[in-house]
Amino acid sequence: MSREKFERIKEFAKDKETPCLIIDLDVIRKNYENLQTYLPWATIYYAVKANPDDAVVSLLRDLGSNFDVASRYELDQLLRLGVSPDRMSFGNTIKKEKDIAYFYEKGVRLFVTDSIADIDKLSRAAPGSKVFFRLLTEGLGADWPLSKKFGSHPDLARQLMKTAMRFGLEPYGISFHPGSQQRDVGQWSSALAIVAQLFNWARHDLKVDLKMINMGGGFPANYLEPTDSLEQYAQDIKRFLDNSFGLVWPEKIVIEPGRSMAGDAGVIVSEIINIAKKSVHERYPWVFLDIGKFGGLIETLDESIKYPIYFEGQGSVEEVILAGPTCDSMDILYERTPYFMPSSAKIGDRVYILTTGAYTQSYSSVYFNGFPPLKSYILPPA
Ligand SMILES: *Cc1c(COP(=O)(O)O)cnc(C)c1O
């Protein structure tokens, strides 16, 4: 973020009650354009859960994005905002039959699956629809892995494809998610090799030409730990696709960016509530902010996501422990990861938590300890 932009955000937030999230739509637009530039062969389905703000969704709608939808509530929101159902996929493997029926009734015809029971539901509630099969990945190398819970082993995926066909659904493609904030691009390589095997198997044994690879999200936002550039990811993934598919790539390559689209677009403005030591000789002071795990920073769980944090003030810095305001002892942000605060910082000062545009507001709790859900504002144009 440029100095000038940061000053604008600070100025805009000046009279706002904290904590609050300031969203910069210019960054979302830029991220969308960068994805198009570096991955021109990919079709973008924005993962709505990352930041479902109406303004964010409307901007992406206008830019031509498609949407990865996880619940009937997200579907209702998208319909309200005028997104047509042929720009959506129901990308959650865990769905009630009546919700599948609701999506189908509204016109959605593209569904993910990873189990026999789910295919059973799809065959009844969304007859004839296109289905894609999610593979299990381990999420190794990811800061927020998403492993284990979703997808099936390739052996089971073969069975699922057969079953789907028998049930009159259209086997359409294979999906995986390499793990969110995936810092090891090699994870795409191993997944794509398995995807290619499944494409071959479907062609020869099932006599079906699968059309789509859905590579999920995983592209990075800019937190404390450095990552390769998006351009580098794109180059590497293109090479992996060449390795696995040669000259003839599948018809449709989908990406579902969430974090990489919205993460860098947000700044949380917070305030220091208290600075305190627990004992006379304690080394590091505790700094309590007015936002914590329950106010929207749940991804600090296990200190997985390390947000860049900016304190006002000058002078020498000292290492601190950062914690949130609620009466739950797990509401600690960072105890092991070193964070530093200028010695001049004091109670009442503002603190800026950067790269908080994704997975913050949508995760904030509803009135735990009476604290309202995280409020957000769109930064007005300059
Ligand atoms: C959450 C999610 C995404 C977004 O992942 P990011 O790593 O945030 O880009 C994409 N696809 C699916 C199916 C998801 O559940």
Summarised one tens digit per residue, pLDDT across range 199-252 is: 999 999 999 999 999 999 999 999 999 999 999 999 999 999 999 999 899 999
**If you average pLDDT over residues 86-105, what whole number do you get?**
98
> What is the arithmetic mean of pLDDT over 74-98?
98
Asked if residue 309 and residue 357 are part of one domain, the reply reads yes
Please give the torsion angle defined by the CA atoms of residues 70, 74, 79 and 83, in that order, rounded to the nearest 10 degrees: -60
For ligand 1, the distance from its centroid to the CA atom of residue 347, given in whole angstroms, is 37
d(C-alpha 183, C-alpha 233), whole Å: 9
**pLDDT at residue 148, as a whole number:** 82
Window from 146-160, 325-339, 342-356 with minimum mean pLDDT: 146-160
User: What are 45's strand-pairing partners?
Assistant: 66
Q: What six digits make up the tokens of 57?
A: 């969704």
Please work out whether the CB of residue 121 comes within 6 Å of at least one atom of ligand 1.
no
> Same domain for 98 and 208?
yes
Query: Pick from 228, 223, 176: which is nearest to 358 by CA?
Result: 223
338 burial level (CB within 10 Å; 0-12, 13-18, 19+): exposed
Residues 173, 108 within the same domain: yes
- Are 357 and 266 in contact by the 8 Å Cβ rule? The answer is yes
pLDDT for res 147: 74
Residues 163 and 280 in one domain: no
Phi, psi of 4, deg, nearest 5: -65, -45
Which pLDDT band holds residue 1 (cuts at 50, 70, 90)? Answer: confident
Instruction: Judge whether 96 lies within some domain.
Output: yes
User: End of a domain among 257, 290, 324?
Assistant: 257
- C-alpha 334/C-alpha 304 separation (Å) is 10
The closest residue, in CA terms, to atom 3 on ligand 1 is 217
CA of residue 280 to ligand 1 center, whole Å: 46
Is 107 a residue whose pLDDT tops 80?
A: yes
Tell me, yes or no, whether 10 lies in a domain. Answer: no
Q: Is residue 243 part of a domain?
A: yes
When pLDDT is averaged across residues 40-58 and rounded to a whole number, the result is 98
Residues 149 and 188 in one domain: yes
Q: Indicate if 242 and 292 belong to the same structural domain.
A: no
Q: 141 falls in which pLDDT band (50, 70, 90)? A: confident
Q: Is 195 contained in some domain?
A: yes
CATH of the domain at 287: 2.40.37.10
Give the CATH number for residue 203. 3.20.20.10
Would 11 be classed as within a structural domain? no
User: Of the residues 56, 113, 177, which should be mutated to test ligand 1's pocket, given the most ligand atoms within 8 Å of the CB?
Assistant: 177
Q: Pick the last residue of a domain from 233, 257, 281.
A: 257
91 lines ligand 1 (CB under 6 A): yes
Exposed, middle or buried by CB within 10 Å (0-12, 13-18, 19+), for 28?
buried
Last residue of a domain, one of 257, 288, 303: 257
In this prediction, residue 382 has a pLDDT band, given cuts at 50, 70 and 90, of confident
Tell me the pLDDT of the chain averaged across its residues.
96
Taking CA atoms only, the protein residue closest to ligand 1 atom 11 is 216
How many angstroms is it from 76 CA to the middle of ligand 1?
A: 19
CA–CA gap between residue 104 and residue 291 (Å, rounded): 40
* Same domain as 229, residue 283: no
Gap from CA of 100 to ligand 1 centroid (Å): 20
Asked whether residue 245 is assigned to any structural domain, the reply reads yes
Question: How far away, in angstroms, is 218 Cα from ligand 1 center?
Answer: 7
Nearest atom within ligand 1 for CA of residue 134:
13
pLDDT digits (tens, 9 = 90+) for 279-322: 998 889 999 999 999 999 999 999 999 999 999 988 899 999 99
Tokens representing residue 32 in the block: 């969308």
Q: Is ligand 1 within 6 A of the CB of residue 293?
A: no
| Residues 208, 277 within the same domain | no
Whether 195 and 103 map to the same domain: the answer is yes
203 alpha carbon – ligand 1 mean position (Å): 28
Q: Name the residue of 137, 176, 256 whose CB sits within 8 Å of the most ligand 1 atoms, as the mutation to test its pocket.
A: 256
CA distance 261 to 222: 11
pLDDT above 90: residue 262: yes
* Cα 67 to Cα 164: distance, rounded to the nearest angstrom: 24
Is 16 part of a structural domain of the chain? Answer: no
Domain that holds residue 343: 264-378
Is-contact 48 57, C-beta < 8 A? yes
Helix (H, G, I), strand (E, B) or coil at 83: coil
Ligand 1 centroid distance, CA of 340 (Å): 31
Rounded Cα gap, residues 127 and 112, in angstroms: 14
- 67 CA distance to ligand 1 centroid (A)? 11
Using CA positions, which residue lies closest to atom 5 of ligand 1? 217
Task: Find the angle CA(341)-CA(347)-CA(350) to the nearest 5 degrees.
Answer: 65
CB of 299 sitting under 6 A from ligand 1? no
Band the pLDDT of 146: cuts 50, 70, 90.
confident
The reply to whether 225 and 272 lie within a common domain is no
Residue 210 sits in the same domain as residue 283: no
156 shares its domain with 228:
yes
How many structural domains comprise the chain? 2
Is 39 domain-assigned?
A: no
> Which neighbouring-strand residues pair with 156?
none
Give the number of other Cβ atoms within 10 Å of residue 3's Cβ.
Answer: 7
